[in-house]
Amino acid sequence: PVPSARHRGSLGEPRALFALPSARGPPPAPRWPVECEVIKETIEHIEWVPPELEPFYQPTGHEWPSATLGEEQGTVVYHLSPGSREPAAPPGAPSASLSPHHRPSGLPPAVPPGSCFTRARVGGAPGPLSSPAVPLEGPQDTTLLFESRFESGNLQKAVKVGPYEYVLTLRPDLYTTKHTQWFYFRIQNTRRDPLYRFTIANLAKPKSLYGEGMRPLLYSQQDAQSRGVGWRRVGADVRYYRGGGEEPATFRLSWTVRFPHDGDTCFFAHSYPYTYSDLQRYLGALAGDPVCSRYCAVRELCRSLAGNTIYLLTITSPAGAAAKRVVVLSARVHPGESGGSWAMRGFLDFLLSAHPDAQLLRRLFTFKVVPMLNPDGVVVGNSRCSLAGRDPNRAYGTALRSSFPGVWHLRAMVERVLAEREVVLYCDFHGHSRKNNVFMYGCDGGRAGTEPRLRQRIFPLMLSKNAPDKFSFPSCKFKVQKSKAGTGRVVMWHMGVSNSYTMEVAFGGSTLGGRSSHFNVEDLKSLGYHLCDTLLDFCDPHPAKFQQCLLEVDALLRQRLHREPDSGWSDISPSELES
């Protein structure tokens, strides 16, 4: 139900700052499920942009894992057992002793069967930490030391199968046995000279950009401290392939790498991490900026299941707020899609700046922004789910307030806004693991007349013109499928938001404009700026750009219909489905 205006207040007015990380002192510590162990060290990384673009790996045709990948013959050197305070097997035990039902690349359940989230606390599991890593036997022991019990970390097990070769198992999303994709873990006791091989043995998706030249990210603490160098793409012999014959099928990612230093602390990650604490530090800096505070208010949209604050930013210049149209943006409903947070960061950096276009946007619109819809999933290192053990981006249509508070409150907020004024754009930021470049999914439900179908495509076409080396208009899709009925994009469209989109940002990079290279954080942040630029083009009172794009879209549609009369220009194949 829509609350009365008496209780609601003006939707455009920045609210009083509350539940906001203070500019003074550290942000509130994240709350974890009580079964998660958490190390005490704070993990932070410097932000760095490589001086040159990082090309995709070019397969040589000789990539093949060596014959020593039999996990049963190896030694467990790291093993977490989520859901239980006791380690499943002592580190150093032979891999085959882990379980009488052990399969080489099997998928151990994340938590005991039937378990679900019960409660959370700051710091996770109480009491002393267990020791999931095998102790070193002395300075000559070259065994790597693994760790993932930190914010957004994900690694469940490491098995040493050769002097410098390891088979790794990821932890499924908590309270599920599925969704293994995101990884982020620490390695210590490195050696500079040997060639190491790592194989992640239990990935879920049959197809991945790792099969098209994407490479994992490495961070060296020594390089960060001595040379100011941060995350970079590494790896040769990169291969993505199906594992053994077990069902359900699992897939493997294998790569080789040389570490830059002896005795270094390094990290590997699937994508540039952006944690809940990173967001809180950013919001704390906003709170300490007296200029930003005049037109940006941060409040608590709601609390997550674990009790972490889900933040809502209202950004607008104070004058004439009541009459303004509204733009709604969200990110990180899928926690493993961290590129969405970097794009959101770029959007906020620009919109909150003194740039004349940013000032114009704040005068024209009221922005409602939820930068991290699923903080619990981000904290625990999930790929897709919240602590409800389900995908929140399928719950917008039926969301229970108690199970999916972020989704429920975002939808309720948009309903309240729509009761008073137009929402000109809704955009939810995601990551895509199987297609390169940036593209959008829109909504084309065959509403009467051709014009609405054309108009759906204008914003993405404009964005492709503003970011021609990153955004692919031909990759955009507009069909509303039954399986997507519960997504934010489709539900907001049914509620009356005509321009409702999912923006998909590849985990890999760009194949456009002569590029064949990975996205870096500057690329990702630039998407936020381009979104702002496109919004001004889209809403320009002089209709020349809009009319030009309308003609182009019409011509493209006619071409396609001529080639494929039955397509309706909204087909989408199952292999291209994602967020």
By annotation, the residues acting in catalysis are: 504
269 phi and psi angles, rounded to 5 deg: -150, 155
Report the C-alpha gap between 388 and 117 in whole angstroms: 7
Q: In which residue are the tokens 């199968």 written?
A: 161
Pairing mode, strands 309-315 and 365-370? antiparallel
In angstroms and rounded to an integer, the radius of gyration of the C-alpha atoms of the chain is: 24
Contacts of 116 (CB under 8 A, 6+ apart): 175, 389
CA 141 to chain centre: 37
Measured distance CA(555)–CA(560) in Å, rounded: 9
Exposed / middle / buried, residue 165 (Cβ in 10 Å: 0-12, 13-18, 19+): buried
Interstrand relation of 157-162 and 75-79 (parallel, antiparallel or unpaired): antiparallel
CA distance 452 to 443: 10
Sign of CA dihedral 94, 98, 104, 105: negative
What is the phi-psi region of residue 263: left when phi exceeds 0, alpha when psi lies from -120 to 50, beta otherwise? Answer: left
Report CA torsion sign: 567, 568, 574, 578: positive
Q: Are 519 and 532 spatial neighbours (Cβ–Cβ below 8 Å)?
A: no
